Amino acid sequence: MTINEIFLEVKDLRTQFFTDEGVVKAVDGADFRVRRGKTVCLVGESGCGKSVTARSILQIVDKPGRIVEGQILLHRASGEVVDLAKLSATGKAMRAIRGKEIALIFQEPMSSLSPVHKIGNQIIEAIRLHFDTNKREARARAVDLLNRVGIPNADQRIDAYVFQLSGGMRQRAMIAMALSCKPSLLIADEPTTALDVTTEATILDLIKELQKDLNMTIMFITHDLGVVAEIADDVVVMYLGKVVERGDVDTIFHYPKHPYTRALQKSIPKLGYAGRERLKTIRGMVPHPFARPKGCNFHPRCESFMPGFCDRIDPPLVTLSKDADVRCLLFGGTDADQKESHGSQEEA
């Protein structure tokens, strides 16, 4: 991967929340890259740090959280590189990037859009914040955006409040707002979670179509591997704030390396299951943030657990190829007998 292909680099990102009960390491040394014009999917169970990673990129982490370490490098087409982690969250430089160069579709539009302002006014405000235009021109652009995302009677719906729209229309309005300034990177934080499968398919088709038309880079956050298989070019698997595996979508689906990635795939419902056959699940649950396991965070739930190693050693990120990494002692970082490691890998 050449430097010109990279749009965004996240290096050793650590975002923590300082509470009265203790420190929550929501993002704990995340490392990944986003290729220009491609779609990267961040996957993992709820509580694995995906949304906080997205909010960290845009410097909108809610208090008492803050970025404590790491780099978020934005590679502009001009060759300029900007470390977003070093910019002030309320400064002019970050405000100019937020919404214009990098936009975010929030997880739940009902709580993210203002209930006391009309949909159109919220889109118009975003347009006028970044472009020198009058209210009439901004309104015309907002109507065009609503038409483009498939909202019928957009010239009338622009004056509707959020509670007057269906779930699918609210999500489309959120997409229109995110696209209002033609961002280079669109971050979609589980944009289809609360939608029915028909509306979900329509929204996914819309995002892919808009990506093609606008030549956008997309970071898509989800826990639905079916969605990942449909839209992703690259996949980043996160667990408890760490990137445990990274690679292109074909490698992740056909040759998964990390036991967590394999467990996620096994838990996908498949056509042809007998009616009485139980779905496979990942045993246990994501640990409490104040009770993180020693060693590998996943070892209490891992089918390939190696006593004396996984519960003692925090595995490093091992590079398998130029575009694939894995954080697992099965692939390095321990003095365990290589035959034992190879055997555990084959058995898994």
The CA-to-CA distance between both ends of the chain, in Å, stands at 30
pLDDT of amino acid 198: 80
Q: What span, in angstroms and rounded, lies between the C-alpha atoms of 190 and 111?
A: 14
Q: Which is it for strands 6-18 and 65-75: parallel, antiparallel or unpaired?
A: antiparallel
Quote the crossing angle between the two packed helices 197-214 and 167-179, to the nearest 10°: 10
Q: What does each of the 348 residues of the chain score in pLDDT, given as a tens digit?
A: 556 789 999 999 999 999 988 899 999 999 999 999 999 999 998 889 999 999 999 999 999 999 999 999 999 988 899 999 999 999 999 998 998 899 998 877 777 788 899 999 999 998 998 888 899 999 999 999 898 888 889 999 999 999 998 888 888 888 888 888 888 999 999 887 767 788 788 888 888 888 888 889 999 998 888 889 889 999 999 999 999 999 999 999 999 999 999 999 888 777 666 566 777 888 888 888 888 899 999 999 999 999 999 999 999 989 988 778 999 999 877 654 433 334 444 444
Q: Which of 302, 238, 196, 205 is nearest to 48 (CA)?
A: 238
DSSP for 179-232 reads: HTT--SEEEEESTTTTS-HHHHHHHHHHHHHHHHHHT-EEEEE-S-HHHHHHH-
Do the beta carbons of residue 289 and residue 48 sit within 8 Å?
no
pLDDT of amino acid 192: 75
Q: What span, in angstroms and rounded, lies between the C-alpha atoms of 136 and 251?
A: 49
pLDDT of amino acid 347: 42
Enumerate domains of the chain plus CATH numbers: 1-101+183-270+278-348 (3.40.50.300)
